[in-house]
Amino acid sequence: MKFLFFFAFLLGCTQKYADYDLIRKSDYNQKSYERPVTQMQVVHAGNDTLDRCFNQWLFFSNAEKEKDEHLPMMVRTLCPREPYLTQTRMTETWWTTIVFTRSCIDIKTACAKDKRP
């Protein structure tokens, strides 16, 4: 029982999910997200995924802060030819031990573009 308590103290892990039905890539900000209003209907134009991890040894960097700073750029790199993302699911995973921390993000999305008449 002591080993289990000690192991739980040494390792911590958490996951956070976020779903977005529509993202305008050029305006994306996770902290102040507002669903965009489009002038035209958007249509499906393919799928894309991205996963990236950031590492931290002791106190020499901050993996969570690096992930948050890179997230808008990562969203903009998805679906390079399309201005919108639909049905986006972001899974953030963070785990730590006493000397090492890892912060990861996994993004799965559908690409979308304006439906031109």
- What is the value of pTM for the model shown? 0.79
For CA atoms 72, 80, 17, 87, the dihedral sign is positive
Tokens at 67, concatenated: 């992930």
Task: Give the total number of structural domains in the chain.
Answer: 1
Q: Range of 46's domain?
A: 2-114
Structure tokens at 9: 């103290």
Q: Print pLDDT tens along the chain (117 aa).
A: 655 555 555 567 788 898 988 888 888 877 777 777 776 788 888 899 999 999 988 888 888 889 989 999 999 999 998 888 999 999 999 888 888 889 999 999 999 887 765
